[in-house]
Structure 1
Amino acid sequence: MKQYDAIIIGFGKGGKTLAAELSNRGWKIALIERSDKMYGGTCINVACIPTKALVHEAETSGLMFQGDYKKQSNFYKLAIARKNKLTSFLRDKNFNDLANRPNVTIYTGVASFTSPDTVKVVLPDGEIELQGKEIFINTGATNVIPAIDGIRDSQRVYISSTLLELDILPKHLIIIGGGYIGLEFASMYAEFGSKVTILEAGNLFIPREDRDIANSVREVLERKGIEVRLNARAQSIHDTADGVTLAYTDASDGTPYFVEGDTILLATGRKPMIEGLNLQAAGVQVNAQGAIITDAHLHTTNPHIWAMGDVKGGPQFTYVSMDDFRIVRNKLFNDKERTTEDREPIAYSVFIDPPLAHVGLTEDEAIKKGYSFKVSRLPATAVARTRTLQKTDGMLKAIVDAQTGKIMGCTLFCADASEIINIVNVAMKTGQHYSFLRDFMFTHPSMSEVLNHLFTFD
């Protein structure tokens, strides 16, 4: 049995960064990844990087060939090839960055615990057992596959990662699920030239957002030709000679409907990837949602086993996994004061066009909590930069505490929102009065200077 100072299960952001850190400190590391297509993790292979590359490609396609499906289809095929080249480069780079270290061994196989400190790895040519002083689980999340008749028999149903491998542009893409992943793909494929229909089972469009923001997003998406159907409970999927038929019922009254397309995307959520790990053998417990239970320093119920990233539940963002690495590093080598409890607020961005970004409380949440606050709203056109970019869609919103003037939350639905939200987040994290942003001297013309206007309350 081979002995290691640390075993890391999963090649994602937190795990690979930790492997490099521990290697630099002289630790002997075993890094286990089940797929040679996933070196570097979900983000660079099937999520953040490829999708954002395609979002950019889609915008170009829409500007150059809008309304010409044949030209957009050809452009899409080339865009997928460029995306594949990018992810292949990043995957190889991530592998080599660690494989070239003398004290790191990469095992490509399926890991499972056999005891609290021992992991079995099923390799293509056999099995091996590894023993580690510290073990880190960084296996990420996997797609939730809903119970819909015919879903596993259809040749036209995809999840987000497999759709990204399709180099034929769908003529009509049906998306089951109106969450943020579904919206990103809807916006992207609509700009590539696909007809897009979103089927959302709930009765509210993006319920996490305030209604004024949600209504603005829906209006912009519908202007792109995206159809949104609420209360749509998918019942069955049936492949036809040249496409696919999806049957659903309206949850409000039970009326049956059918929608025909050529491609279906499942955007029905993701769950922690724990299948096959045999966590019971390691004394590692999970919660009702299947997420690994951790304390504020990311220890599991076994003090020598840690969990990082999506597998422990919570926000499923690469930058959260990166911060998990910082917490582990701090606990192992520094003052042990950094925890999961001191990183709020966490911002997020949805890469539709224009992007939607948010940090802190929404107005609805502030009302429910009984806070006294002020609200500021602006159309995106309030900043001159939107006109020079010819991206005038959207709206912006901020709320501040009526007594202290501290920023409580901000939502940006506008060009460059994914960048500007970080400025707001820094101001919130450092406890700035809202006048800090109101009076800050931003460059002109820039999107960030909209904060001067948005944070003017008196």
Structure 2
Amino acid sequence: MMKSIHSAYDALIIGFGKGGKTLAAYLANQGWTVALVEQSPFMYGGTCINIACIPTKFLIHDAELGKPYAEAISEKDQLIGTLRQRNFNMVDQSPNATVITGKAAFVSPHQVSVRLTDTGEEVLIEAGRIFINTGAKPLIPSIPGLQHSQRVFTSTTLMQQKQLPDELVIIGGGYIALEFASMYAQYGSRVTILDRSIHFLPKEDRDMADAVQIILLSKGIRIEQAVTVDEIIPGDDRYDTVVYHGQEQNRQEISAAAILVATGRQPYTEGLNLSAAGVEQDARGYIKVNDHLQTNIPHIWAIGDVNGGPQFTYISLDDFRIIRSQFFNFKPHTLTDRSQVAFSLFTSPPFSHVGLREHEALAQGYRIKVATLPAASITRAHVLKETEGLLKAIVDADTNQILGCTLLCANSSELINLVQLAMRAGFDYTVLRDTIYTHPSMSEGLNDLFAKLT
């Protein structure tokens, strides 16, 4: 039974993402009255749990285990349903917190109107402090025919399909595109990536980008660079046609049972009516915030993807810590404290990075020492039968401080956290070189990687 909705709360949180739900539960436990507004009952818990991190990583894991696609999708749906209910309960079971399912729109700086999803009724809520946590959504490019095709999907909608597409065309060459390419190729799809960039993974060092590309190619994935998609032509009951051209301007066509659009993301502020609150946005639509995540309206904050920071769940959780430190007895914490943030791209094997890349360190004028290590040289990689990949470390030659590290190997999403911790602690690289790790483990690769610097 839904709780009664009051007209006024100490805090109103718009959006059920990681930062928002954690903040809602915490504030309620501190005695604040809290309203958490989420427009969809299928998004309790936020993007990560429902349509991003958790379902994708679950499907990737099942692909690596060799499970049939339809079975994996069914198991994924069951897991997400369980997690969604758990997250709802985490907030709503507090006597001080109320989850309101509806679409929020500002009426004034302190007032928000919510159109309830189940009844269509509008309720007016006033709050002393408001936290916007509405996230981001896929950016859909203007390609002729795209809006009329029944085979165009986003990363969200593709995972809702029960049948594996035999021919998957991915428009885009970023991290989401590569993660889906790797996953669907393992399930058995024939995958083609159409990437507008001239270079594969252009932000990465060429040796690391090449290592990723070699692995994807070995899975049978076709990768086309410097491509412009011209048109999508609806086809028969099985395939559409994607028309594109490369640098030579020659028209090319490819059949697609499914087309994944992975060309970036944009802030989700649709219908929020930020102008009524006077909240400012940047040129791309992201909400402007200061180092405390405050908007230009002092009692309104923006947390998570909608504020234009790195779009990772763990960044949203750190946003919560920044908010928490402003109201309770915690060490002050702001955006300026955020450094050495690691990330992982969950291809198989995963690609993980923290700090500076080699070309970035050189551009910033560092004298550096560089070490690389084939993943196949690590004993544990052979035990796991995952010997593909490359490990790379960048160290300041003058101070022995670790400047950056990129790992393409089994368990790299765990190993990179160890490197990140060493960097944040200011450890000399020899600490990782000389630490005694369990055996056989992928961590032992850090012994050999950093030993190459001496």
In 2: Cα distance, 1:8 partner to 1:336 partner? 23
The residue that corresponds to 1:153 in the other structure is: 148
Structure 1 window deviating more from structure 2 (106-115 vs 354-363): it is: 106-115
3-state SS in 1 of match to 2:146 = coil
Counterpart pick for 1:249 among 225, 228, 245: 245
Pairwise mapping of residues 383-422 of structure 1 onto structure 2 (< 5 A)? 383-422=378-417
In 2: Cα distance, 1:447 partner to 1:162 partner? 35
In 1: Cα distance, 2:181 partner to 2:90 partner? 35
Taking structure 2 as the reference length, the TM-score comes to: 0.97
In 2: Cα distance, 1:227 partner to 1:334 partner? 54
Counterpart pick for 1:231 among 216, 226, 234: 226
Q: How much has 1:336 moved relative to structure 2?
A: 6.0
Q: Which amino acid is the alignment partner of residue 108 of structure 1?
A: T
Q: Which amino acid is the alignment partner of residue 245 of structure 2?
A: T
Structure 1 window deviating more from structure 2 (278-287 vs 38-47): it is: 278-287
The residue that corresponds to 1:78 in the other structure is: 71
In 1: Cα distance, 2:300 partner to 2:262 partner? 32
In 2: Cα distance, 1:342 partner to 1:106 partner? 32
Pairwise mapping of residues 365-376 of structure 1 onto structure 2 (< 5 A)? 365-376=360-371
Task: Say whether 1:346 aligns with 2:351.
Answer: no
Q: Which amino acid is the alignment partner of residue 279 of structure 1?
A: L
Pairwise mapping of residues 80-119 of structure 1 onto structure 2 (< 5 A)? 80-119=73-112
Structure 1 window deviating more from structure 2 (309-318 vs 254-263): it is: 254-263
Task: Say whether 1:175 aligns with 2:179.
Answer: no
Q: How much has 1:122 moved relative to structure 2?
A: 1.1
3-state SS in 1 of match to 2:122 = strand
Counterpart pick for 1:48 among 46, 53, 65: 53
Q: Which amino acid is the alignment partner of residue 370 of structure 1?
A: G
In 2: Cα distance, 1:150 partner to 1:102 partner? 50
Pairwise mapping of residues 131-150 of structure 1 onto structure 2 (< 5 A)? 131-150=126-145
In 2: Cα distance, 1:388 partner to 1:380 partner? 12
In 2: Cα distance, 1:256 partner to 1:368 partner? 38
In 2: Cα distance, 1:262 partner to 1:105 partner? 43
3-state SS in 2 of match to 1:280 = helix
In 2: Cα distance, 1:34 partner to 1:336 partner? 34
The residue that corresponds to 1:39 in the other structure is: 44
In 2: Cα distance, 1:91 partner to 1:335 partner? 30
Instruction: Give unmatched runs, 5+ long, in structure 1.
Output: 62-71
3-state SS in 1 of match to 2:95 = coil
3-state SS in 2 of match to 1:447 = coil
3-state SS in 2 of match to 1:321 = helix
Instruction: Give unmatched runs, 5+ long, in structure 2.
Output: 1-5
Deviations 1:243-276 (A, max 9, x none): 11000111x2322111112110011111111111
Counterpart pick for 1:331 among 326, 334, 343: 326
Q: Which amino acid is the alignment partner of residue 113 of structure 1?
A: F
Identity %: 52
Deviations 1:300-336 (A, max 9, x none): 1100000100000121000000000011001111256
Task: Say whether 1:445 aligns with 2:440.
Answer: yes
In 2: Cα distance, 1:160 partner to 1:320 partner? 20
The residue that corresponds to 1:194 in the other structure is: 189
Q: Which amino acid is the alignment partner of residue 235 of structure 1?
A: D
The residue that corresponds to 2:312 in the other structure is: 317
Counterpart pick for 2:65 among 31, 38, 60: 60
Q: Which amino acid is the alignment partner of residue 255 of structure 1?
A: N
The residue that corresponds to 1:276 in the other structure is: 271
The residue that corresponds to 1:65 in the other structure is: none
In 1: Cα distance, 2:304 partner to 2:413 partner? 21
In 1: Cα distance, 2:157 partner to 2:116 partner? 24
The residue that corresponds to 2:202 in the other structure is: 207
3-state SS in 2 of match to 1:359 = strand
Q: Which amino acid is the alignment partner of residue 256 of structure 1?
A: R
RMSD, aligned α-carbons: 1.0
The residue that corresponds to 1:121 in the other structure is: 114
Task: Say whether 1:18 aligns with 2:23.
Answer: yes
Deviations 1:214-238 (A, max 9, x none): 0010011000000100011111111
In 2: Cα distance, 1:96 partner to 1:21 partner? 14
In 2: Cα distance, 1:261 partner to 1:60 partner? 26
The residue that corresponds to 2:3 in the other structure is: none
In 2: Cα distance, 1:368 partner to 1:312 partner? 28
Taking structure 1 as the reference length, the TM-score comes to: 0.96
In 1: Cα distance, 2:245 partner to 2:327 partner? 53
In 2: Cα distance, 1:33 partner to 1:120 partner? 13
3-state SS in 2 of match to 1:455 = helix
In 1: Cα distance, 2:203 partner to 2:445 partner? 24
Q: Which amino acid is the alignment partner of residue 166 of structure 2?
A: K
Q: Which amino acid is the alignment partner of residue 150 of structure 1?
A: G
In 2: Cα distance, 1:91 partner to 1:383 partner? 39
Q: How much has 1:341 moved relative to structure 2?
A: 1.0
In 2: Cα distance, 1:355 partner to 1:214 partner? 13
Q: Which amino acid is the alignment partner of residue 81 of structure 2?
A: S
In 2: Cα distance, 1:36 partner to 1:389 partner? 40
3-state SS in 1 of match to 2:147 = coil
Deviations 1:266-299 (A, max 9, x none): 1111111111111111121111111111111111
In 1: Cα distance, 2:330 partner to 2:60 partner? 41
Q: Which amino acid is the alignment partner of residue 211 of structure 1?
A: R
Counterpart pick for 2:259 among 244, 260, 264: 264
Task: Say whether 1:293 aligns with 2:305.
Answer: no
Q: How much has 1:109 moved relative to structure 2?
A: 0.8
In 2: Cα distance, 1:121 partner to 1:132 partner? 13
In 2: Cα distance, 1:141 partner to 1:132 partner? 24
What is the count of residue pairs matched by the alignment? Answer: 445
